[in-house]
Amino acid sequence: MAKKLGFCFGVEHAIDMAQKLLVERKKVYCLGPLIHNSQVVERLAHQGLQVVENLEQITPAADEKDTPTVLIRSHGCRPELLQKIKAKGFQLVDATCILVKRAQKLVQELHQQGYQVIVVGDPNHPEVQGVVGYAPEVIVVNGEEDISRLPPHGRLAVISQTTHSAEDFGRLVGYIATRGYEEMKVVNTICRETARRQASAVELCRLVDVMFVLGSRHSANTGELAQLCRRKGVDTYHLQDWQEFKPQYVVGKGTAGITAGASTPGWIIQEFAENLQHF
């Protein structure tokens, strides 16, 4: 097992908040799945958490006691959405991870200081979609092909999606630097939790013949972990849980390693490890 794996403090905090709210309040909504793990989302739905796509899907309160509560997930959201929730008279509970909040604040401040803000990350990831809302004209760079969209000169400030790989962030910052900007300010917004999981996975790759990376296929940090293990030359399988395990994955292998993304609950990891050992 990797030394560091599974739930990060941001995800744990969001789940704790949701569970507390579900005990205290009647109508609790979340815009999009609370975390990128369908098993956890299903459990919370069982306890009453309703997942909606937009605020229009929430029925307004009939009386004060009936006021809907909207929970913001750890990925955060655009600032307009927070205002809209309040304007609709809904109760707002913000479970945005403190590290995502830091990135949001930085985007705002760097723009005010006159920088063209660049976010290295996946433009379709909810965290990035939220972060870019904190300043006008923020540019998202996901690969070398996006660099041609940057302005030819000026003062740039570059931050990263919190779950991006440090290697890739560094590589893209290097490419951007070759364009010869007068000033480049780089703020490392990569979450240490992600980096720690990645370092533990790399350490484990040296000792095993096959790696299992557990977590949802929508989880960016789980995907990054799997890619990292593959780059280290180890046969790697990104699986959601034990149900996806196939015996051929371990044919001819002596030692198996297990790691898991920041949104993978302990019980999925435990179940997988026990079954694999048994197998």
Which residue numbers are catalytic?
127
Query: Closest CB to ligand F3S belongs to which residue?
Result: 10
Q: What angle, rounded to 10 degrees, do the helices at 220-231 and 192-205 form?
A: 30
Query: In whole angstroms, how close is the CB of 65 to ligand F3S at the nearest point?
Result: 32
Among 9, 242, 245, 249, binds ligand F3S (CB under 6 A): 9
Interactions with ligand F3S, residue window 36-65 (CB under 6 A): none
Q: Name the pairing type of β-strands 183-186 and 155-160.
A: parallel
260 beta partners: 214
d(CA 229, CA 212): 9
162 binds ligand F3S (CB under 6 A): yes
- How are strands ordered across the β-sheet holding 235-239? 235-239, 210-214, 256-260
Helix (H, G, I), strand (E, B) or coil at 238: strand
250 binds ligand F3S (CB under 6 A): no
91 beta partners: 69
d(CA 52, CA 103): 25
216 binds ligand F3S (CB under 6 A): no
Interactions with ligand F3S, residue window 258-277 (CB under 6 A): 262
- Residue closer to ligand F3S by CB (options 26, 217) is 217
Among 97, 139, 173, 214, binds ligand F3S (CB under 6 A): 97
28 beta partners: 69
Sketch the per residue contact string, 194 through 213, with ligand F3S: x for CB under 6 A, - otherwise: x-------------------
Angle at 201 between CA 275 and CA 246, to 5 degrees: 35
d(CA 196, CA 65): 44
Stretch that binds ligand F3S, among 2-10, 37-45, 76-84, 133-141 (CB under 6 A): 2-10
- Residue closer to ligand F3S by CB (options 125, 238) is 125
Query: In whole angstroms, how close is the CB of 207 to ligand F3S at the nearest point?
Result: 25
Stretch that binds ligand F3S, among 37-45, 97-105, 152-160, 166-174 (CB under 6 A): 97-105
Other C-beta atoms lying within 10 Å of the C-beta of residue 241: 20
Residues 6+ apart with CB under 8 A from 30: 18, 49, 50, 51, 52, 70, 71, 73
Residues 128, 132, 138, 139: what is their CA dihedral angle, to the nearest 10 degrees?
20
Query: The tokens 């013949």 sit on which residue?
Result: 209
Stretch that binds ligand F3S, among 9-17, 44-52, 131-139, 227-235 (CB under 6 A): 9-17
Stretch that binds ligand F3S, among 5-13, 24-32, 62-70, 222-230 (CB under 6 A): 5-13
- Residue closer to ligand F3S by CB (options 163, 216) is 163
Q: How many residues does the chain have?
A: 279
Which residues of this chain interact with ligand F3S, rule CB under 6 A?
8-11, 74, 97, 99-100, 162-163, 191, 193-194, 221, 262
